[in-house]
């Protein structure tokens, strides 16, 4: 079975799970899939293998079309226990389109699903973790920065808006996200950067849109986090 879901900008499927394995793929646009491991950013050249029973939420960055094969665990030889990013070369893309065709005979579907399981190959990708504080003051700051990761305000400046001192906000972020405020903001910027890069936005423009003064500063942070340059991340 293949589900096709047109997803307008900001459309989100809240956290849920399936009794089948799912391959979440954007036939158009960019998907954001969140699991317990973090957030995965998926242009059409990538998909996320989601094992049966794993809770996940799915959203669109901009407009997207999600096309997802669902496979019965008993008939699929893949036994990956955790969400896994896979490459989507042209052959796999066409196979998904073939499986989505109406009226496909059961024996033809079974053969195509077996080939799909043979074709999926993992790629080296890291989920971005951007947990939200539960304290309302910290959450207000976090949500504002997710909306505008380039906002340069310090914790002291944010405190005047959120009704808490900078020191209090710092304690909230450390206690409730497991990160310092600076580390959390870096993750928020990287999350926004991945979505822009997946859309094909040039690296220099991405750097400025997520809050870095120079492209070299952005590239250095990105490389430390992901092991490759921004320009190469979605080409691997």
CATH number (domain holding residue 177): 1.10.10.60
Tell how strand 21-35 and strand 2-7 pair up. unpaired
Residue 217: band (very low, low, confident or very high) from pLDDT cuts 50, 70, 90: very high
pLDDT in the model for residue 208:
96
Q: What's the average model confidence in pLDDT over 79-85?
A: 90
pLDDT in the model for residue 236:
54
Domain of 152? 136-233
Q: Is residue 90 part of a domain?
A: yes
How many structural domains are present in the chain?
2
Q: How far apart, in whole angstroms, are the C-alpha atoms of residue 236 and residue 232?
A: 7
pLDDT in the model for residue 101:
83
106 with 158, same domain: the answer is no
- Whether 63 shows a pLDDT value over 90: the answer reads no
CB atoms within 10 A of CB 47: 30
Q: What's the average model confidence in pLDDT over 2-21?
A: 88
Q: Of 161, 192, 210, 216, which Cα lies nearest the Cα of 30?
A: 192
192 with 111, same domain: the answer is no
Q: Of 228, 234, 223, which Cα lies nearest the Cα of 197?
A: 234
11 with 111, same domain: the answer is yes
Q: Is residue 172 part of a domain?
A: yes
pLDDT in the model for residue 15:
93
User: What are the phi and psi torsion angles at 39 (to 5°)?
Assistant: -105, 135
Each residue of 134-159: pLDDT tens digit?
999 999 999 999 999 999 999 999 98
User: What are the phi and psi torsion angles at 49 (to 5°)?
Assistant: -80, 120
Q: Is residue 217 part of a domain?
A: yes
In the Cβ-directed half-sphere of 145, how many Cα atoms lie within 13 Å?
Answer: 28
pLDDT in the model for residue 214:
95
Say which range, 12-16, 58-62, 82-86, 192-196, has the weakest mean pLDDT. Answer: 58-62
106 with 157, same domain: the answer is no
Taking a C-beta distance cutoff of 8 angstroms, is the pair 57, 127 a contact?
A: no
Each residue of 158-213: pLDDT tens digit?
988 888 899 999 999 999 999 999 999 999 999 999 999 988 999 999 999 999 99
Which of 67, 84, 119 is the endpoint of a domain? 119
pLDDT in the model for residue 154:
92
pLDDT in the model for residue 190:
95
What SS3 class is residue 18?
A: coil
Between the CA of residue 150 and those of 32, 105, 181, 186, 193, what are the distances in Å? 20, 52, 14, 10, 11
Per-chain mean pLDDT for the chain: 91
- Whether 232 shows a pLDDT value over 90: the answer reads no
**Helix, strand, coil abundance in the chain, percent, nearest 5:** 40, 25, 35
90 with 141, same domain: the answer is no
Q: Is residue 203 part of a domain?
A: yes
- Whether 220 shows a pLDDT value over 90: the answer reads yes
User: At 108, which CATH number?
Assistant: 2.60.120.280
Which of 57, 88, 119 is the endpoint of a domain? 119
Which of 76, 92, 119 is the endpoint of a domain? 119
Interaxial angle between packed helices 181-198 and 136-147, expressed in degrees from 0 to 180 and rounded to the nearest 10: 30
36 with 105, same domain: the answer is yes
């Amino acid at each position: 079975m293949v589900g096709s879901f047109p997803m307008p900008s900001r459309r989100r499927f809240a956290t849920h799970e399936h009794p089948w394995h799912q391959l979440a793929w954007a036939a158009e646009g960019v998907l954001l899939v969140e699991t317990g491991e973090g957030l995965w950013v998926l242009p059409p050249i990538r998909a996320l293998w989601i094992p049966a029973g794993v809770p996940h939420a799915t959203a669109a960055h901009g407009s997207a079309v999600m096309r997802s094969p669902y496979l019965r665990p008993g008939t699929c030889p893949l036994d990956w226990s955790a969400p896994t990013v896979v490459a989507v070369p042209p052959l796999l893309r066409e196979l998904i389109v073939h499986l989505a065709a109406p009226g496909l005979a059961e024996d033809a579907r079974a053969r195509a699903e077996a080939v799909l399981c043979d074709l999926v190959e993992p790629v080296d990708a890291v989920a971005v973790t951007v947990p939200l504080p539960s304290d309302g003051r910290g959450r207000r700051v976090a949500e504002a920065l997710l909306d505008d990761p380039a906002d340069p305000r310090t914790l002291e400046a944010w405190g005047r808006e959120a009704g808490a001192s900078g020191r209090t906000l710092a304690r909230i972020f450390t206690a409730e996200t497991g990160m310092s405020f600076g580390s959390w903001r870096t993750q928020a910027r990287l999350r926004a950067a991945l979505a822009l890069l997946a859309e094909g936005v040039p690296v220099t423009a991405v750097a400025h849109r997520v809050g870095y003064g120079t492209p070299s500063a952005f590239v250095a942070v990105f490389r430390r986090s992901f092991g490759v340059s921004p320009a190469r991340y979605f080409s691997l």
